[in-house]
Structure 1
């Protein structure tokens, strides 16, 4: 079997699956609208209203290793929030916050001094003239449902825009929204080293 490994820049308001099986009257965009490669599946998920890096493959072993929380595989996000978090809020996010009766694992959280180099979102977020916004870089080692949004809301700074920029060694760099490419041999080597996975046919 020939394995495929793809990186995709998921746009805003695109389902992280190849079909829309909901009962919503107006069909929503899916991965099928962008990726014409058969039999590959996303590793993990990005919410409909989130953007950024998605890895797709037909390599079931790698998919399991990257999805299983026990391996604590890092995922990094740029997060636009309402207002400017103070050091107390940043420390809470780093140490772990309680959401839905669960305390999140410690995270790396940096308050960015400038807006990150991202293409504009379509449609843009709704700005409030009287409320400033800021950007965080957050690296988590778990991926619970809407975790980043719930974490920032729990410390009083709601998420306005959420973009995943890295999955471990893999980066969003060079991909515009809706674009995809094959994982390079070097990138795949780093993934295999992380999990001690033997060589597989490309």
Structure 2
């Protein structure tokens, strides 16, 4: 379903007491927010306003797992505060983290050494604010993802300016612009970043600008049954 101001009309058939979650394929060049905070530049665009339908106040939809303006890919929208906190900070006393997978086009042909450094953790930031990322999964994507070539509104750059390559990175942290800072730290600046998965929810079946309803079980599938039960049917404690 295409991202428009009426995108939720056919989706929200649930009662006001139920929590709902949506997977949105955010295009590049759009901010991960619905409300103008007065700080937008002239060229910047927000996500379109959403209507209130079926007695559900869509203004209560929260974007969890935000992306910066020029990044693309999966964002979760939810009316459940507990789900928003689980995606952002982890679930339960043990703070079990939900993984997020990114496909990243970098400047140059990324090396095995750089991928190994990404996997082991790298220092990002400067001075006293320096932070060492945790271990993560990183691997080279051998062929350019063909299904992503038409999703971006602007071309990254002309091939005459040198080669690019793709790497997949899966993390459970969420520092500001973390993946971009990680690839820069190993010598391969990010040119394009697409988040393809949050937990058990992927971009499969979505094109840039599309949205679909997803379930609690789908989002939390990697954390096991206990985690799913902790949020499932807990709609009144948002």
Q: TM-score, normalised on structure 2?
A: 0.77
Compute the displacement of 1:36 (Å).
Answer: 4.1
Pick closer, same or farther for the CA change 1:64–1:26 going to 2, 3 Å. Answer: same
Residue of structure 1 equivalent to 2:107: 82
Matches within 5 A, 1:8-23: 8-23=24-39
RMSD: 2.2
Q: TM-score, normalised on structure 1?
A: 0.90
Residue of structure 1 equivalent to 2:230: 197
- Preserved contact between residue 9 and residue 179 of structure 1 (Cα < 8 Å): yes
Residue of structure 2 equivalent to 1:133: 164
Pick closer, same or farther for the CA change 1:36–1:84 going to 2, 3 Å. Answer: farther
Query: Of 66, 81, 90, which residue of structure 2 is paired with 1:60?
Result: 81
Matches within 5 A, 1:28-43: 28-32=44-48, 35-36=50-51, 38=58, 39-43=60-64
Query: More displaced, 181-190 or 113-122?
Result: 181-190
Kindly tell me the number of residue pairs found equivalent between the two proteins. Answer: 201
Structure 2 unpaired stretches of 5+: 1-16, 53-57
Give distance in 1, aligned partners of 2:114 and 2:220.
37
Is residue 2:131 matched to residue 1:102? yes
Query: Of 18, 35, 40, which residue of structure 2 is paired with 1:2?
Result: 18
Residues 26-62 of structure 1 deviation map (CA, whole Å, 9 limit, x = unaligned): 25221225x5461211112111110000111011111
Greater C-alpha Rg: 2
Structure 1 unpaired stretches of 5+: none
Query: Of 199, 216, 227, which residue of structure 2 is paired with 1:168?
Result: 199
Residues 74-97 of structure 1 deviation map (CA, whole Å, 9 limit, x = unaligned): 100010001111111111111000
SS of residue in 2 equivalent to 1:65: helix
Residue of structure 1 equivalent to 2:4: none
